[in-house]
Every structure is written in C-alpha cells, then in structure tokens.
Structure 1
Amino acid sequence: MYPRFSETFVVTELLSMQRLGVDLEVFSLRYPVDGRFHPSLAEMRAPVTYLKHGGLRAADVWAALGAARAAVPEVDAHLDELLAAEVGDAVQALELAVAVRERGITHLHAHFASVATTVARLAALLTGITYSVTAHAKDIFHEEVDPADLRRKVADARAVVTVSDYNLAHLRAELGPDAGRVRRVYNGLDLRGFPYADPGDRPPVVAAVGRLVEKKGFADLLEAVAVLVGSGRKVEVELVGAGPLADDLRARRDRLGLADVVHLRGPLPQDEVSRVVAGAACFAAPCVVGADGNRDGLPTVLLEAMALGTPVVSTPVTGIPEVVHDDATGLLVPERDPQALAVALGRLLDDALLRRRLAAAARELVETEFDTTRQAARVAETFA
C-alpha cells in the first residue's frame, strides 16, 4: 500500500534514491485507506500506478491474461506458476508484467516478503527481469508465514535486504544456505528532518508512538505509568497512533485512573510526531513478541527519537538491542515488565545528566549507522 501512513521508512528510502538519481516508478497493490499523508510526499516525483485489486470477475481475469500474452508472450511458459497463486495476486502480476515490458523496467524491488514479493516475483519470472526484496518483521515472523513460500522467494531473488542483524540471523537459521545472499541494511533517516536538541530541561512528559497493536507493548506502558503516578510522581504521556487496540487502551487507561495523565492523540503527520517526541523528557517503546509471533523488526520511530535527542527506554526484542545499548544509548528493560519499565522511566524523568549522556551517544550512533543517503545507496546497489 502506497502511501501508508505508518510506513515512513518507505517514503524516506524512495526520496533518498530519487536524490541519488535512481529512475523510479512505484506500483501499489492497494489504495491508501487512512486519508492522512506526510508532507514529505510532496517531494516525490516518481509516477505511481495502482494495480487492480478486489472485485475481480472472470472477465477481468481473462482480460488480464489476454493483455499479458500480447505484451509478454513468455506468459504461456509460466502458466503453472500463475495458476498456483491466488487469483488476485496472479492478475496483479500479469498487469505488472505488461507495465515492465511496455515501460522498459529492468528491476523490481518489493518491500515486505509477503504479497508484494509474491507479485514482484511472478512479474519478474514472466518478463525475465530480476527482483529484490526488503524483509521487515511480520513478513518473516508471523505464525502465518509459509516457510516454503519464503524460501522460494529468497532463493529466486537477486538480493534480499533485511533491517537488523537479528532478522538476518533468523533468516539464516530458518532458510540455511538459501539465505546466504541476504544482507543487513538498516532503515535510514533523513537527519535534516530530525534536528538534535538537548533534553536536559524538558518537562516530565513520556512520548510513545506506533500502531495500537499488541507488539508495541502500550498496555505495559499504561501499567508502568500507573506505578509512577501511584508513587506520587508528576508525569504525562503523549501516545500517538491508531489501531485495533485503541478502544482497549482507552478503557485500560480510564480503569487505571489515568484519563488526565495519558493523552491518546491518534495518528499525526510526521512533523507533528517529531514535535511531540522532541518535547518529551523520554521516549518509551516497550515492544513485545505478540501471541501470534508478530514483532517489530527495528522501529523507525525509535531511531527518530534518538536522532531528536529524546532518550529512549525499550525492550530487548528483535533488533532493538542493536541500537539501544543499555545505559549507553538508552535503557533496556525486560518485555512485559511494567515495574521495570516504571523504574527506567523514573530514572530518566529524575536525572537530567543521564538524559543528556544517553541522548548524545544515541545521536552519534544514528549519524554513524542510519543516514538515509548511505542506506538507500546500499539498497540500490542490489538493483544493478
């Protein structure tokens, strides 16, 4: 889905590639649904094509096959692959294959190793071009991931990128030699949009940002804040995001007596998110592994907080310890441990010197390892 409000890392990467001179087109499998857009989208010059999705009739399927056979005669040789796919995926692959052939596209890159890679792989197979993929989190960790399907996608790709060393180790353990060409490239930030500010004199505000889903651990954050308030501490929480657990979190907040403490702001555009995070004394990302195996790869918003000079508290889930080095670039606490989370947040709220020390080291790390121009160039190298 392009653009997707919660996937700022895709737009950041595209804009960086655009500045590097990569000739881009965007193909989206779904229409955007939330009606909110980040201002940076105005900078995108790449054309966007929305492939057919949903409401397909038999006539649509035959029309897509006929159009593809006319433009891509090789389709007949790969009918078995098309018939093995979901009908909607096959139709989108046929439409994409026609665009590839008519527009002289030489390579496809898919974000997420799920349906996007299914379509890219089929279109590449039909047209004889190459494809690559960036694997993130749900697309490799969720209980619904088919190991055989993932193995085939990784084996057939020219290159596979993933966003943390944790993910890289997981793929190598799961796929063995087929994962030999997978490389780690962290998601990048355009640091021009995340100016560093000293956190020493900020008010006692905890910021948290993300989709309101289990893996973000926001239920634990509410419990931790209840501990802080119960100890007589003055604190406020700015929680930004939307998602299926919004009503549950609101009910939990009210049950804990935190209606005047925890402010559920809903989704905000990037510039407003940065303003909220930059004004907080600390940032909480108490991520957990969900009951369905879903988990974060390495939350981009965590990197954004570190870039802005807001010290972070998080958990040692997936790739997070690769950037949050405990008591060096942030604080780590066990997942699903509200008491430990409360203690860590209390340390940051109380100690301006600690905030300054952690924030300065975190910014240095982000500048060294997460600059978008360098990261996007590494991904673009896989297209050649």
Structure 2
Amino acid sequence: MLLSRSHRIGYVVKRYPRFSETFIVNEILAHEASGVEIDIFSLRPPVDTHFQDSISRVRAGVTYLPHRSLRGADLWEALEDAGRTLPGFWQSLELARGEDAETVYQAALLALEAQRKGITHLHAHFASSPASVAALAARFARIPFSFTAHAKDIFHESVEPADLRRKLESATAAITVSDYNVQFLRREYGPAAANVRRIYNGLDLTRFGFDAPLERPRRIVTVGRLVEKKGFAVLIDACALLACGGVSFHCEIIGSGLEEAQLRARIDQLGLSNCVTLPGSRPQNEIIRHIQSAAVFAAPCIEAEDGNRDGLPTVLLEAMALGTPCVSTPVTGIPEIVRDGETGLMVPQQEPAALATAMARLLDSPALQVDLAGRARRTIEQEFDIHRNAAQLRSMFHGADTLIQAN
C-alpha cells in the first residue's frame, strides 16, 4: 500500500550524511521516487571528509538539531515553546522521565519542527539515540513513530536492554534488516519484540548493472570502515598464506577508519606491501569500478570483542549485484544471502587458512566465479530491490498511522 501525498515522513538519524550509510540514502531516494515527501533530521553534523554521489540526488531538506553546550535556559525556552504550541505537552513531558537533558531538548525541538512542517510520521534509523529522540518527539507531537534496528544498536555491549525494550514497546512499527536480527530480538526481548518485522536494505539495481566475471584479473577487493568487526586483519593474514603458497593475486582494502595504522603495520610486517594495498576511501562510482574489475570480493566479518558486528553489509549486496563472486562468514544475517556453494562461498570467521583456501579456489576457477555470480545476482533481484523493499516499509508506515488514528 502506498502512502498518500498528504503524508510527510520525518527521517531521524544520528549524522547526515555519512559515507558508510548509503542504505539510508537509497531508502530516502526510493520514497521520493514514489512521490512521498521526506524531511531529514540529524542529531549531529557530518564529520566525514568524503560523501557518496547519490546524496546529490536527495531532494529532502536537512534540519540539524542543536546539541552542543546545552544551557538550562535553552532547555527551558524549548520546553516553554513546546508547551505553548503542542497540545498536552506538559502532561506528556512525564514520559521523558529518566532521559538525559539533551534527548529531551532535541525531542522538543523535533516535535515543534514536525508540527511546523506537517510531518505525519517519524522514522529513526538505529535504535540508539535517533530512536530515543524520535520516540519522545512523536509522543510530544502526537504522531506515530517507527525505527529500523541494524547491528551495533542491537549487539554492542553498550546497549541497555531496558531502554531498547521500551522503544520496542512504544514504537508503532519496528523493523530490522535480517531474519537473524528478528530471531535475536524476539529471543532476548520476548513479547516486546513480537511485532518486529524484517525488511532488507535494498539497492537501486539500475545503478548496479550486472557484468559476468569473465576473464577478470586475479584481484581481491573489499570495502568498508577499517574497524575490528570487518575482519580485515584476518584478510591480511589470509593474503600472507596465499603469498607463501605462491598464489598470484593483488588485494585492495578500500576504506578508512580507526585501525588503518594497525592494518598498514600488519601488511609491512608480513611483507605484503607489493600485493596488499589500502587506497583509502573512494566515491561510490569508483568503488563500483574496483569491485567489478575484481575476481573476488571478500567480506571476512567477525564478532568484535565488544559484541559489535555487521548486520548485513550493504557493500556485500552491491558486490553480488555487480557480478563479483563473494567469500564471507556466517555472522548475523550474512548466511541469508551468501549461501555456500550457491550464491558465494562461506568460511568460518577468524580462520585465515579457510579464507585463503576459498579465495584461491575462486581465483583458480573462472567457471565457479561465473556460476556463483549469476545466482547471486538473481537473489539480489528477488529480495533486495530498494523500490520493492521501500514500498514494504511505506506499507508499515501506513498501517501504523491507521492504527494511531483508530485509537
């Protein structure tokens, strides 16, 4: 079911734009293509130095909610403004008990902006601070609220179970990005998570044309933030095994992040500087070219020591759509798309030898590359088309809005 043009959705995110969060941009663009009006509310300004070109196609305006150096006078001014403008505000303020001052302040400002702009529904990406602010603002403004939970906001050691349970209970709709996440939330949170629904992140497949991996150079590529959960240290160790075995290859680890110095040191220590490179972050059009010119895409994801892990890496979906055969690990929802021997190769996490064996197998078998790539593309077309998946999300918005109106 499509939302009518009278509906206006407010997207609440922590930072916008973010280089690594193309899935949010994809979703917004799909909504806009369907005729839905979107407004973006960001709790923080951007800090990245590079941005994806798809951001330039977003029509929605961005409102940055103030957050730094909050003074008591600013808070009271926002509350008094909300009290004058929003019916029943002072009664609903009781719901803010236990929240920090900044969350209450931003929620009051967001509720005022929602009323001013005619927002009919708030949707937060991530069950952390964006969902906290959106949930409270929705109560202040008396409009429905939903959120999408991803990975860190579910699994990280910093997640407060009581807080996440309250959000699951108060949301008119809760979405997450894999069946694994749905099962985890229902197991951990019981009835509060009974209505959580899986809607996969999607891709605009017109931007990710398939090219069968015929006569690809012996190149391995991976893309992502240089952080522990991506497993890039494991990939470097696997490359060392390939080099020791006389395998001809070149590996690119594209991205930037906290572990860059550590990974460069590991490459130097293992004598791999001639065959493993870290070219830094790149815009998406360049990333597409890098992926589509490789024989192997490696996503050796791991569960980090702090519990953080990937949900379902968007770049893995992109590689499958583009026709590059993938090797990955059974972390969270990845086995839902990388089915061993069917749509890719699967190896245990934290096992460089198994990863090296799988990558060598692909490098040495062009026929296997073509077979896996073709089936992977069909899977992406069937389950990860952004326009179809965004329509499912809008259907949930409509159902939530109808439920609120009925009550």
Identify the TM-score tier after normalising by the shorter chain: over 0.9
Corresponding letter in the other structure for 2:111: A
Cross-structure match for 2:191: 177
| 1:193 to 2:195 alignment | no
| 1:117 to 2:142 alignment | no
**Alpha-carbon offset, residue 78 of structure 1:** 2.6
Once residues 86 and 222 of structure 1 are traced to their aligned partners in structure 2, the CA distance between those partners, rounded to angstroms, is 42
Counterpart secondary structure, 2:37: coil
| 1:59 to 2:82 alignment | no
Cross-structure match for 1:95: 109
Once residues 79 and 193 of structure 1 are traced to their aligned partners in structure 2, the CA distance between those partners, rounded to angstroms, is 45
Once residues 49 and 244 of structure 2 are traced to their aligned partners in structure 1, the CA distance between those partners, rounded to angstroms, is 39
Q: For 1:149-201, what per-residue CA distance to the aligned partner results, in whole angstroms no more than 9, with x for missing partners?
A: 11110111111111000000001101111111111110000011111111121
Among 161, 182, 187, the residue aligned to 1:147: 161
Counting only pairs closer than 5 Å after superposition, residues 1-384 of structure 1 correspond to structure 2 as 1-384=15-398
**Alpha-carbon offset, residue 381 of structure 1:** 1.2
Corresponding letter in the other structure for 1:235: F
Counterpart secondary structure, 2:257: coil
Once residues 285 and 102 of structure 2 are traced to their aligned partners in structure 1, the CA distance between those partners, rounded to angstroms, is 36
Q: For 1:110-161, what per-residue CA distance to the aligned partner results, in whole angstroms no more than 9, with x for missing partners?
A: 0000000000000011111110111100001111111111111011111111
Worse-matched range after superposition: 34-43 or 158-167: 34-43
* Mapped contact 1:315–1:333 kept (Cα < 8 A): yes
* Mapped contact 1:71–1:102 kept (Cα < 8 A): no
* Mapped contact 2:297–2:319 kept (Cα < 8 A): yes
Calculate percent identity across the aligned residue pairs: 54
Cross-structure match for 2:405: none
**Alpha-carbon offset, residue 41 of structure 1:** 1.3
**Alpha-carbon offset, residue 303 of structure 1:** 0.5
**Alpha-carbon offset, residue 81 of structure 1:** 2.9
* Mapped contact 2:253–2:278 kept (Cα < 8 A): yes
Once residues 260 and 68 of structure 2 are traced to their aligned partners in structure 1, the CA distance between those partners, rounded to angstroms, is 28
TM-score where L is the length of structure 1: 0.98
Equivalences, count: 384
Once residues 63 and 265 of structure 1 are traced to their aligned partners in structure 2, the CA distance between those partners, rounded to angstroms, is 48
Once residues 55 and 5 of structure 1 are traced to their aligned partners in structure 2, the CA distance between those partners, rounded to angstroms, is 26
Once residues 25 and 383 of structure 1 are traced to their aligned partners in structure 2, the CA distance between those partners, rounded to angstroms, is 15
Once residues 342 and 200 of structure 2 are traced to their aligned partners in structure 1, the CA distance between those partners, rounded to angstroms, is 20
* Mapped contact 2:255–2:282 kept (Cα < 8 A): yes
Counterpart secondary structure, 2:397: coil
| RMSD between superposed Cα atoms in Å | 0.9
Once residues 195 and 365 of structure 1 are traced to their aligned partners in structure 2, the CA distance between those partners, rounded to angstroms, is 14
Counterpart secondary structure, 2:44: coil
* Mapped contact 1:75–1:126 kept (Cα < 8 A): yes
Once residues 154 and 270 of structure 1 are traced to their aligned partners in structure 2, the CA distance between those partners, rounded to angstroms, is 34
**Alpha-carbon offset, residue 83 of structure 1:** 4.3
* Mapped contact 1:51–1:96 kept (Cα < 8 A): yes
Q: For 1:60-116, what per-residue CA distance to the aligned partner results, in whole angstroms no more than 9, with x for missing partners?
A: 212211221121142211333334211111111010011112222111000000000
Once residues 83 and 167 of structure 1 are traced to their aligned partners in structure 2, the CA distance between those partners, rounded to angstroms, is 29
Q: Runs of 5+ in structure 2 lacking a partner?
A: 1-14, 399-407
TM-score where L is the length of structure 2: 0.93
Once residues 47 and 80 of structure 2 are traced to their aligned partners in structure 1, the CA distance between those partners, rounded to angstroms, is 31
**Alpha-carbon offset, residue 233 of structure 1:** 1.3
* Mapped contact 2:321–2:376 kept (Cα < 8 A): yes
Once residues 396 and 40 of structure 2 are traced to their aligned partners in structure 1, the CA distance between those partners, rounded to angstroms, is 17
* Mapped contact 2:93–2:140 kept (Cα < 8 A): no
* Mapped contact 1:130–1:158 kept (Cα < 8 A): yes
* Mapped contact 2:86–2:112 kept (Cα < 8 A): yes
